[in-house]
Chain A
Amino acid sequence: MASNQDAGAGNQAHEIGGKVESPARMAWRKFRKDKLGMFGLGVLIIVALMAIFAPMLAPNDPFDTHILQSNEPPSSDFPLGTDRVGRCIFSRMLYGGRVSLQVGLIAMAISTVIGSIMGLLAGFLGGIVDVIIMRIVDIIRSVPFLVLAITIVAVFGPGLFRLMVVIGVLAWTGIARIVRGNVLSLREREFVHASKAIGASKKRIMFKHLLPNTVAPILVHATLQVAFAIISEAGLSFLGLGVQPPLASWGNMLNEARNLAILEDRPWFWIPPGLMIVITVLSINFMGDALRDALDPKQQRE
């Protein structure tokens, strides 16, 4: 019976427009017209490919120390010169991209999952649950992010895995607020009342009905969250409280520039990884903005 109806609806759509456009396809059609967004996507793909194929692209092993050739300016052997212990800076930058992107993606995933669930619970259940969750949000937001992050690092120590968890666990408040706000208005809509009336469980309503309807803002926020996590990683590693050498990340390569002599005399130490951060974050921001426009149903720019 149900399948018959579906087939009927499909036929009808075929008759009207030839094909039915899915929301994802519609968003992509709009996104494609956004020049800055497409530029961002293109650059990001290149950066990601550089990180993925780092073992093939890197001229040297990023951990190999050529101690007799340390502090060398760029040359044909070492395209961006060598660092203080004679490691190839260009190779470290390619491998560092893997670490920085990994931190960005995993921290984003952690904060998005926590934030979405917290926002759903606060918005849908309301009452004491809402009060407690929003109080936690207030507390986290009332201390500057970096201060909290370095306090946690002081207690548990630095490291790649801890860094991803720390950023993820502290950065979920924004998304929780957005999801909560959306859920508050959605839960009074007819389709939610209807599913309540037919006896759907709270879990089902939250994850099958409410969550899919807030996917657009979550997606936009998650994109920008990757940029935030990459900048946070860079900042913490710059302070020596993030990714620890010999593992390279764009942030801890910038740490070298805290030495004024290196800052002045060997710009190839720190400018390239810094530019990689800027290029990556800029591209993500372009994309996030284009995505926001593309997913906004109110904005019909034709």
Chain B
Amino acid sequence: MSQYLIKRLAQGIPVIILVSIGIFALINLAPGGPVAHLRQQPGITEEDIQRRFEALGLDDPIHVRYFRWAGNFIRGDFGTSMDSTRQPVIDLLRPRIVPTIYLTVGAMILSFAMAIPIGIIQATKQYSVFDYVGTVAAFLGVSVPNFFLGLILLFVFALNLDLFPTGGFSRPLAEDTFFSHLHHAILPVIALGTARAASLTRYMRSSMLESIGEDYIRTARSKGLKERMVVYKHALRNALIPVITLFGLQIPLLFSGAVITEEVFSWPGIGRLTIRAVHQRNYTVILATSVIFAVLVFAGNFLADMLYTVVDPRIKYD
């Protein structure tokens, strides 16, 4: 297991390094360089720009700058925000990682909690009304953009029925409890998780159907095992394997969705920080958040691999 862990890291780290090189290069591709947008502001002279250029160390060749940035990044120094606050980027990022993970893990749990039982019932009662309704609902779920769903949830449950707050992660002027966080999180988690749940349901259904058609299921039945035992113990376990692969592939989608969901619900996460940074062309923040997202995707995939061994004892990583 530890050997596999090392192997996986050895594969993942180069990809993350290449991502950082790519985004670093991209940002330096900005027409006129990262400070070019300053030229559009009145009252800024060419000398001011030159001074900023030197202050930011931008007059060094690009590879020198990259290595300087990467060296600092590894040491936890993500540079200074380019907006007027001049805060260290790490201070902007740190408090936002937990809300983003809270939101994505919540959506992940929701999607599994919905997809697995619905998929099983659909497969065991193929061609029933439930199956048909479930299929159409799953189509609808993958077709609704998560931010539109978020807006509808806000409109109905927060603004008209007043059941939930309209945004944020914490209560103003009050101590946060587990339930206060949950209360804030329910709508964004539904908005983000629905599409993933719908897509997982479709895979769960077809995977379960395939698994139920296998010979060993017939064997289990002919042994006289109870139908419940056959479905939940024998068929389900094998049906889960492809679904978990899919889960690994969906992790980037989950974070993509989180970026926009955070914006809809004023959720204080990394996605919202990224969007604000994009509007301000705050390149140091953009660079840091993109690399953090790549790390999170890698961590998620890593987790999916670990889950594999739980469902499928045939897979041994050594």
Q: Which residues of A contact B (CB under 8 A)?
A: 36, 135, 138-139, 141-148, 150-156, 227, 231, 234-235, 238-241, 254, 257-258, 260, 263-264, 267, 270-271, 274, 277-278, 281-282, 285-286, 289
Contact = CB atoms under 8 A, between A and B. Distances in A.
Contacts of B147: 234-235, 238, 254
List the 5 shortest-distance A-B pairs measured between CB atoms, nearest first: A282-B143, A144-B255, A144-B256, A146-B256, A154-B278
B166 A227 contact: no
A155 B166 contact: no
B79 interface: no
Given A138-B15, A147-B274, A154-B286, A278 B260 contact: no
B139 A282 contact: yes
A150 B19 contact: no
A263 B26 contact: no
A236 to B, nearest CB: 9
A263 B254 CA distance: 25
B151 A234 contact: no
B217 interface: no
B81 interface: no
Contacts of B131: none
A36 B298 CA distance: 37
A281 B143 contact: yes
Contact of B159 (A135, A155, A258, A264): A264
B290 A151 contact: yes
A238 B252 contact: no
B18 interface: yes
B220 interface: no
A143 B155 contact: no
A257 B148 CA distance: 9
Contact of B26 (A141, A152, A271, A282): A152
B163 to A, nearest CB: 14
Given A227-B143, A254-B151, A286-B139, A147 B259 contact: yes
Interface string B159-171: 1100000100000
Q: Chain A contact residues: over half helix, strand or loop, or mixed?
A: helix
B143 to A, nearest CB: 4
B260 A147 contact: no
Contacts of A277: 145, 148
A257 B150 CA distance: 11
Nearest to A145: B256
11 contacts: A142-B294, A144-B297, A146-B260, A147-B293, A235-B145, A258-B263, A264-B160, A277-B148, A278-B143, A281-B143, A281-B144
Contacts of B278: 150-151, 153-154, 241
Interface residues of B, number: 53
A258 B255 CA distance: 20
B148 A274 contact: yes
B155 A267 contact: yes
A196 B281 CA distance: 53
B19 A144 contact: no
Nearest to A264: B159
Given A143-B294, A144-B253, A155-B30, A263 B148 contact: no
Contacts of B136: 36
Given A139-B15, A146-B260, A254 B148 contact: yes
Interface string B23-66: 10011011100000000000000000000000000000000000
B30 A142 contact: no
A151 B147 CA distance: 19
A252 B114 CA distance: 32
Contacts of B160: 264
Contacts of A156: 30-31
Contact of B259 (A135, A146, A231, A258): A146
A295 to B, nearest CB: 17
A264 B275 contact: no
A145 B259 CA distance: 10
A34 to B, nearest CB: 12
A143 B154 contact: no
B16 interface: yes
Nearest to A251: B145
